[in-house]
Amino acid sequence: MTMTAKKKGSWLALVLALCLMAPLALAEGTDILFSFAGDCTLGGDESWMNYSIGTFKVMAQEQGDYAYFLEKAQPHFAKDDFTIVNLEGVLADSAKGLNPSTKWNFRGATEYVDILTLGSVEAVTLGNNHTADFGKTGLASTKETLQQAGIPFALDEETFILEKEGVKVGFIGFYGPTLRRYGSKLPGLISRLKSEEGCAAVVLMYHGGTQYRVKHNKQQKEDMRYAIDSGADLVIGHHPHALQGIEVYNNRNIVYSLGNFCYGGNRKPREVEYPSMVMQVRMRFDSAGQYLAQQLIIHPYEISATRPRNNYQPYPVTGDKALAAMETIQADTPFPLNPWVEGAGAVQNEVPAR
pLDDT tens, 219-245?
A: 999 999 999 999 999 999 999 999 999
- Residue 304: what pLDDT? 98
- CB of 126 closer than 8 Å to CB of 162: no
- Residue 354: what pLDDT? 82
Share of the chain above pLDDT 70, in %: 92
**Rounded distance, CA 198 to CA 31, Å?**
17
Pairing of strands 123-125, 153-154: parallel
Q: Where residue 3 falls among pLDDT bands split at 50, 70, 90?
A: low
Does the pLDDT of residue 6 top 50, yes or no?
no
pTM over the 0.85 mark: yes
Residue-wise DSSP of 198-253: -EEEEEEEEE-S-TT-SS--HHHHHHHHHHHHTT-SEEEEE-SSSB--EEEETTEE
Report CA-CA distances (Å) from 135 to 13, 174, 176, 309.
48, 17, 19, 30
Helices (H), the chain: 11-28, 56-63, 74-77, 113-118, 135-149, 176-182, 186-195, 218-229, 319-331
User: Between the CA atoms of 104, 142, 301 and 61, what dihedral angle is there, to the nearest 10 degrees?
Assistant: -80
Average of per-residue pLDDT values in the chain: 93
At 194, is the secondary structure helix, strand, or coil?
helix
- Residue 184: what pLDDT? 97
- Residue 23: what pLDDT? 37
**Rounded distance, CA 164 to CA 142, Å?**
26
Asked if the peptide bond before residue 300 counts as cis, ω within 30 degrees of 0, the response is no
Q: Which fold has domain 29-273+297-352?
A: Purple Acid Phosphatase; chain A, domain 2 (3.60.21)
- Residue 18: what pLDDT? 39
- Contact partners, residue 243, CB within 8 Å, separation at least 6: 214, 257, 258, 259, 275, 276, 277, 325, 328, 329, 332
- Residue 21: what pLDDT? 40
More confident residue, 16 or 210: 210
According to DSSP, the residues that pair with 297 across neighbouring strands are: 280, 347
Average pLDDT for 316-321: 98
- Tell me the pLDDT tens digit for each residue of 263-277: 999 999 999 999 999
Does the pLDDT of residue 287 top 60, yes or no?
yes
- Tell me the pLDDT tens digit for each residue of 148-204: 999 999 999 999 999 999 999 999 999 999 999 999 999 999 999 999 999 999 999
**Rounded distance, CA 161 to CA 169, Å?**
6
Does the pLDDT of residue 9 top 50, yes or no?
no
- Residue 201: what pLDDT? 98
- CB of 91 closer than 8 Å to CB of 109: yes
- Tell me the pLDDT tens digit for each residue of 12-46: 343 334 333 433 333 489 999 999 999 999 999 99
User: Cα 138 to the chain's mean position, in Å?
Assistant: 21
- Residue 2: what pLDDT? 53
**1-5, 216-220, 337-341: which range is least confident on average?**
1-5
